[in-house]
Amino acid sequence: MTVVFSAARPSIAERMAAGKALRDKFPRVDHAIYAPPRNRTDPIDLLLAQAKTRVEKLVPIRHARMLTSPFAFYRGGAAIMAQDLQPTPTTGITVQACGDAHVANFGVFASAERNLVFGMNDFDETLPGPWEWDLKRLVASVVLAGRFLGANKAIIEASVRAAVESYREHMHDYAEMGYLTLWYETIAEKKFLAGLSPEIRKRAEKLLLSKARSRTNLQVLEKLTELLDDKKRIVEDRPLVIRETQDERGRPIKLALDELLQGYVESLSGDRRELLARYRILDVARKVVGVGSVGTRCWVIFLEGASGDDPLFLQVKEAQASALAPYLGSPKFENEGHRVVKGQRLIQGAPDILLGWGVVNVFHFYIRQLRDMKGSVEFDPDNWREEGVLAYMRICGWSLALAHAKSGDAAMIAGYLGKSEVMDDAMVTFATAYADQAERDFELMQAAAKAKRIKVSKVF
């Protein structure tokens, strides 16, 4: 990337005007339109194609998790939506897209200073792309999550509007910020809580923030390990957690780890290398995680520092090509793990200090701390409140706006969005239509399972 520092820069007003001018070419009302692409690829074929690059014995677990509800299906179907969004109109304003910005992929995490901040927490599909794709992925998930929770149509529509309005209003705020100020901006705990009613604030403290604070390495040590022959080892829970001695090529796991960690260490800054070098590996296990990620290669490495009270758990997660890549014409990355890390560092605001990448055999990975003060909302149909749903959707829209402002042109996006509710109205229509599409696709998956076209595990 070549930067000419002496080149003139358009003003905020000029960039907002340029964004506004894009409405003539791409009217905001057009974003309401959703029509299935001609010759739309069967969504089950897309899932089967993804399965070919995954661990075969784990794919039935992925299918089982996706079949629990239309919302769960949607969570695992980023590739399906990417093909459906490809022909839709966009402004041409590029951001570092999350690629999978559904409501369950937001939450709290710890900054390097150990303060809790709110933001996106899944970057497997991140890639430079249209900001509209992330926004549409978010609003359709709002509808599906609302239906899953049993909310009525009015609450669901209000929730979509809350997310889009928050995105639009915060984008205008970020458009006025200096670049360095924006770079340091986070949704800190106090900001997150300030907009909540006393009752919802109390619930957020209990169910989200307090839970996240408790998720330390010591908590993982207690939950994930046990004494075996007087040594702490990771507890097996087959087929979800398995302590294996060999990699997929039959090599001792120690050799595979050495290959991976050599590259990983090189991806870290010098001070992080010094920190990591003080730990030694005690154990490693394969662990099934998530919904859409199931079947990708994922490991947990258990390390120890100065004593048994100084554990470190690293999650090693395979990074395959982004689900957006076939539809955006993006260049191939030398290491897909590097793609994930670069994207996360650009848009998350306070990434893990041990975030890095590596490769073993032909597989690309990114590495991060396991659970390190991370927390997310649990979507429970038996335990939700209308006010809480609206507040949560607002903060998701806020978080998405911050991510796009950090990585794109906030003033141009703000100029395009404007201050009226035109985009809000369009997104309500689109979100409802696409949620209906996801439910039809879910029924196709149910039929495919019944016909044994796809394999489904009884353990998930």
Each residue's pLDDT tens digit, 198-257:
878 888 888 788 888 888 888 888 999 998 888 899 999 999 999 888 877 888 888 888
- Domain match, 82 and 202 both: yes
- Structural domain total, the chain: 2
Structure letter (DSSP) for residue 31: G
- How many whole angstroms separate alpha carbon 204 and alpha carbon 210? 8
Cα–Cα separations (whole angstroms), residue 178 to 3, 9, 93, 273, 350: 18, 13, 19, 33, 19
- Domain match, 202 and 222 both: no
- How many whole angstroms separate alpha carbon 460 and alpha carbon 450? 17
Q: What is the pLDDT of residue 402?
A: 98
- How many whole angstroms separate alpha carbon 265 and alpha carbon 306? 20
pTM of the shown model: 0.96
- Which amino acid type is present at position 29? V
Q: What is the pLDDT of residue 82?
A: 97
Q: What range does the domain containing 198 cover?
A: 13-31+42-214+387-450
Q: What is the pLDDT of residue 215?
A: 87
Q: What is the pLDDT of residue 371?
A: 83
- Domain match, 406 and 257 both: no
In a domain, residue 458? The reply is: no
- Domain match, 186 and 223 both: no
In 28-115, the DSSP E strands lie at: 94-97, 106-110
- How many whole angstroms separate alpha carbon 102 and alpha carbon 77? 11
In a domain, residue 7? The reply is: no
- Domain match, 343 and 210 both: no
- Domain match, 207 and 228 both: no
Please, are residues 373 and 110 in contact by the beta-carbon 8 Å criterion?
yes
- Domain match, 298 and 316 both: yes
Q: What is the pLDDT of residue 10?
A: 96
pLDDT in tens, 166-208: 999 999 999 999 999 999 999 999 998 887 888 788 888 887 8
- Domain match, 207 and 147 both: yes
Please, are residues 287 and 276 in contact by the beta-carbon 8 Å criterion?
no
- Domain match, 180 and 237 both: no
Q: What is the pLDDT of residue 155?
A: 96
- Domain match, 202 and 336 both: no
User: How would DSSP label each residue in 126-154?
Assistant: -EEEEHHHHHHHHHHHHHHHHHHHT--HH
- Domain match, 265 and 414 both: no
Among 334, 351, 324, 260, smallest CA distance to 298 is for: 260
Show the low-confidence residues of the chain (pLDDT under 70). Answer: 1, 330, 350
